[in-house]
């Protein structure tokens, strides 16, 4: 049996060698289609269908598709699939002695799209087809690219987490000094008005000395929570030292509103914090500056002025806040206005108890807070800071130093 006879009588002998071929009669009717071609066009038998049902010529010529395939040139014939993808294919045709035409197809450079569109696998190509090697290379390249993207994502995530950790206080989860500097620099660069508050805990050393650093850490964590709860989402709260905190209020420079926030915050910080059955009691003092008080925003100067206002609050008796007026610094009344009030030795706990022999470091049992002594804020003169027993936030704007 000759090769041509074998092709005519047993066309499936070519299916393994040429899985994308078809044979048609001189009129263009398909007599046989190889399995991969059948898969590409949607399955089912193609025998008896016309070649024009599945293919078009990519370039317009005076010859029809059947004429072009029946009188093939020596080179390639460029076709296009008649489906929604309009996939390009390359054809090579040869006329058989019987008059039929044998056409073999290849996807050429469209192979990657074809594999995806028609769900082709390695078994759909001839074993000697270089397409397989190319597909393996493409698959390996895609795997390498995917791994590279995954690695880049992991590195990006790690970088973001590292940057977040570098700007976060590990104990409290608040911003640290580095993050604070970034916030203030951005506000200054945008000329955004804001208020800056330096807040320091009172009696915190006694908690560490008498109850241990674990109790101190618990206090700091609770203080951070309270500060976050009493500020807005757009505000910044940072821990810059052991018991030193900074609050930034973008867009807020109204003293009445600031006074209300700080009064409420200091009152909450004076509530006992329990650790291991022991009540740890602290208070806080604060100093406030506002960008509206400066011709030019100077972050370093604002820090210095807020710190001086903070220490004026401490000298005036603690548990209070002081607004700083840069214009009055160095004036004839500055020294007198900043003079310290009589020292106080006890943090506030109850509203009605007035004792003078209280030890703030002594352990307090849960439930016994109401009997604990408190400093007498009503009787002590405390200019220039705010009397925390006054419920009217507008009265927080008393003397300035």
Whole-number Å distance between alpha carbons of 244 and 284: 10
Whole-number Å distance between alpha carbons of 228 and 238: 10
Q: In this predicted structure, what is the pLDDT of residue 358? A: 33
Whole-number Å distance between alpha carbons of 237 and 260: 17
Query: For each of the chain's 401 residues, which pLDDT tens digit applies?
Result: 555 555 555 667 789 889 999 999 999 999 999 999 999 998 888 999 999 999 999 987 788 999 999 887 777 899 999 999 999 999 999 999 889 999 999 998 888 889 889 998 888 888 888 777 777 787 888 889 999 999 999 988 888 878 777 889 999 999 999 999 999 999 999 999 999 999 999 999 999 999 999 999 999 999 999 999 999 999 999 999 999 999 999 999 999 999 999 999 999 999 999 998 899 999 999 999 999 999 999 999 999 999 999 999 999 999 999 999 765 543 333 332 333 333 333 444 333 332 333 343 444 333 332 222 333 333 333 333 444 444 444 334 333 33
Residue 271, both tokens: 């509530």
- Angle (CA) 83-84-90 rounded to 5° is 50
Whole-number Å distance between alpha carbons of 122 and 125: 6
Q: In this predicted structure, what is the pLDDT of residue 240? A: 94
Whole-number Å distance between alpha carbons of 229 and 218: 17
Whole-number Å distance between alpha carbons of 30 and 26: 10
Query: Contact at 8 Å (CB) between 22 and 37?
Result: yes
H-helix segments, 12-129: 35-40, 65-70, 111-118
Query: Contact at 8 Å (CB) between 194 and 253?
Result: yes
pTM confidence score: 0.52
Q: In this predicted structure, what is the pLDDT of residue 209? A: 93
Q: How far is CA 57 from CA 88, 275, 322, in A?
A: 10, 85, 87
Query: Contact at 8 Å (CB) between 87 and 114?
Result: yes
Query: Contact at 8 Å (CB) between 34 and 14?
Result: yes
3-state secondary structure 206-256: HHHHHHCHHHHHHHHHHHHHHHHHHCCCCCEEEECCCCEEEEEEECCCCHH
Whole-number Å distance between alpha carbons of 218 and 139: 55
Whole-number Å distance between alpha carbons of 235 and 196: 10
Residue 290, both tokens: 């506002």
Q: Is 299 exposed, middle or buried (0-12, 13-18, 19+ CB in 10 A)?
A: middle
């Amino acid at each position: 049996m000759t090769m041509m006879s074998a092709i005519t009588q047993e066309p499936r002998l070519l299916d393994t060698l040429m899985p994308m071929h078809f044979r048609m009669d001189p009129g263009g009717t398909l007599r046989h289609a190889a399995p991969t071609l059948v898969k590409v066009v949607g399955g089912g038998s193609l025998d008896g269908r016309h070649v024009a049902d599945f293919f078009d010529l990519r370039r317009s010529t005076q010859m029809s598709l059947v004429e072009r395939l029946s009188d093939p040139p020596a080179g390639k014939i460029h076709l296009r699939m008649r489906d929604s993808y309009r996939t390009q294919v390359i054809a090579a045709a040869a006329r058989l002695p019987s008059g039929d035409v044998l056409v073999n197809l290849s996807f050429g450079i469209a192979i990657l799209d074809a594999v995806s569109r028609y769900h082709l696998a390695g078994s759909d190509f001839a074993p000697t087809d270089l397409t397989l090697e190319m597909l393996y290379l493409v698959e390996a390249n895609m795997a390498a690219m995917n791994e590279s993207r995954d690695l880049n994502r992991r590195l990006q995530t790690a970088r973001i987490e590292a940057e977040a950790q570098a700007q976060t206080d590990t104990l409290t989860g608040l911003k640290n000094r580095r993050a604070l500097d970034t916030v203030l620099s951005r506000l200054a660069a945008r000329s955004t008005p804001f208020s800056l508050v330096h807040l320091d805990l009172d009696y915190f050393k006694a908690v560490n000395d008498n109850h241990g650093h674990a109790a101190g850490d618990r206090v700091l964590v609770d203080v951070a929570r309270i500060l976050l709860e009493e500020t807005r989402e757009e505000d910044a709260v940072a821990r810059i030292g052991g018991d030193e905190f900074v609050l930034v209020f973008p867009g807020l420079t109204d003293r009445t509103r600031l006074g209300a926030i700080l009064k409420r915050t200091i009152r909450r910080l004076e509530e006992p914090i329990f650790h291991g059955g022991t009540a740890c009691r602290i208070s806080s003092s604060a100093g406030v500056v506002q960008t509206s008080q400066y011709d030019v925003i100077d972050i370093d100067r604002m820090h210095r002025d807020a710190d001086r206002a903070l220490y004026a609050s401490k000298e005036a008796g603690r548990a209070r806040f002081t607004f700083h007026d840069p214009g009055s610094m160095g004036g004839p009344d500055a020294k007198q206005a900043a003079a310290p009030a009589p020292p106080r030795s006890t943090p506030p706990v109850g509203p009605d108890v007035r004792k003078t022999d209280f030890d703030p470091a002594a352990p307090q049992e849960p439930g016994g807070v109401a009997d604990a002594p408190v400093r007498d804020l009503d009787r002590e003169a405390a200019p220039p800071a705010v009397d925390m027993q006054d419920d009217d936030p507008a009265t927080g704007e008393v003397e300035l130093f």
